Amino acid sequence: MENKYLNILREIKSVSMSTVSSDGMPQARIIDVMLVENQSLYFCTARGKDFYAELLENNMVAVVGMTKNYQMIRLSGKAKHLSEQKLWIDKIFKNNPIMNDVYPGEARYILEPFCINSGSIEYFDISSTPVYREYDSFGNMDSIMKGFEITGDCISCGICAENCPQHCIDSKSKYMIQQQHCLHCGLCYETCPVKAIKRRTKIC
Ligand code: SF4
Ligand code: SF4
C-alpha cells in the first residue's frame, strides 16, 4: 500500500529538502519529487552539485511541502543512492518529461538518482478549525511524537484549558490534551502552576 503522505508530496512536487554540509551548516533547496512508488520517494541531483556531495556524506534529509490548502507535510528520513543510475534516470524522465528541457539528450546522465525509503512524517492542517495533525512513518523508522502531555501531577485547576488558543484540552474525567488538535505552542506548559505538563518523549 502506498503512503498517502508521500503521494501528497508528489502532488505538491516542488518541495524543500534540507541536508547538513560537512561544516555542520544546514542547507536547504527546492527539489522536485520525481516519483513515488513502493513506499519510497524518488528524486535526483547532478554530480557537480554540493547537494550530491552532502547526500553521500550524510544521508539524513528533511523534506517539507505545503498544499494550496495549507496542509503541510514534514518528513525526516534517510536518502539512498540508487545503483542502477541509467534505469532510474530514464524512469524519472519518462514520468517528468519537462526534465528534457533542462537536461536534453545524453546530458541527463550527469544526474544521479536517490530515494527516501524510510522516514517519519508529520501532517499538519492549519486550514481546519481547530488545527489538525497526524503522525506516520514508513520503512524502518518510527513516528516522532512531539508536543506536550499532562501528567499525574495535575491538580485540575483548569488554567491550561482556559489559556489554550485551540481549546483542545479536555476536562471530562481528567485534563488531557487532544493531541491531534494541538498547536505545540507551549502556552499550557508555561502557565501550569505546578509544572504538571511535560514535553512528549521523542520516539514512540
Ligand atoms: S494548568 Fe496544570 S494543574 Fe492546572 S489543569 Fe492544567 S495541567 Fe492540571
Ligand atoms: S501546546 Fe498550545 S495548543 Fe497545545 S494544548 Fe498546550 S496551549 Fe493548547
CB neighbour class for 155 (10 Å; exposed up to 12, middle 13-18, buried from 19): exposed
pLDDT at 75: 97
pLDDT one-digit tens code per residue, 10-68: 999 999 999 999 899 999 999 999 999 999 999 999 999 999 999 999 999 999 999 99
Residue-level pLDDT at 1: 59
Topology (CATH level 3) of domain 4-139: Pnp Oxidase; Chain A (2.30.110)
- pLDDT the model gives residue 143: 83
Joined grid coordinates for residue 48: 557537480
Give the rounded percent of residues in the chain with a pLDDT score beyond 70: 98
Q: pLDDT tens digit string along 64-80?
A: 999 999 999 999 999 99
The closest alpha carbon to 61, from 78, 41, 36, belongs to 78
Beta strands in the chain (DSSP E): 14-20, 26-32, 35-37, 40-46, 60-66, 71-81, 111-125, 132-138, 148-150, 169-170, 176-177, 197-199
Ligand nearest to the CA of 164: 2
State if residue 164 touches ligand 2 by the CB under 6 angstroms criterion.
yes
pLDDT score for 144? 80
Ligand nearest to the CA of 160: 1
What CATH architecture does domain 148-203 belong to?
2-Layer Sandwich (3.30)
**201 has pLDDT over 80:** no
Residue 202 has pLDDT above 60, yes or no: no
- 164 C-alpha to center of ligand 2: Å? 5
Ligand 1 binding residues, C-beta < 6 A: 150, 154-160, 175, 192, 194, 196-197
pTM above 0.85, yes or no: yes
pLDDT per position as a tens digit, 89-99? 999 999 999 99
For residue 193, pLDDT beyond 50: yes
Q: Are 38 and 11 in contact (CB under 8 A)?
A: no
Domain residue ranges of the chain, discontinuous segments joined by +: 4-139, 148-203
In this prediction, residue 142 carries a pLDDT of 86
Provide the pLDDT for residue 121.
95
Average predicted confidence (pLDDT) for the chain: 94
Is residue 104 predicted with pLDDT exceeding 90?
yes
What pLDDT, in 10s, does the model give residues 152-168? 999 999 999 999 999 99
Distance from Cα 66 to the centre of ligand 1, integer Å: 34
Alpha carbon nearest to ligand 2 atom 8, residue: 164
Ligand at minimal distance from the CA of 131 is 2
Question: Residue 203: what pLDDT?
Answer: 45
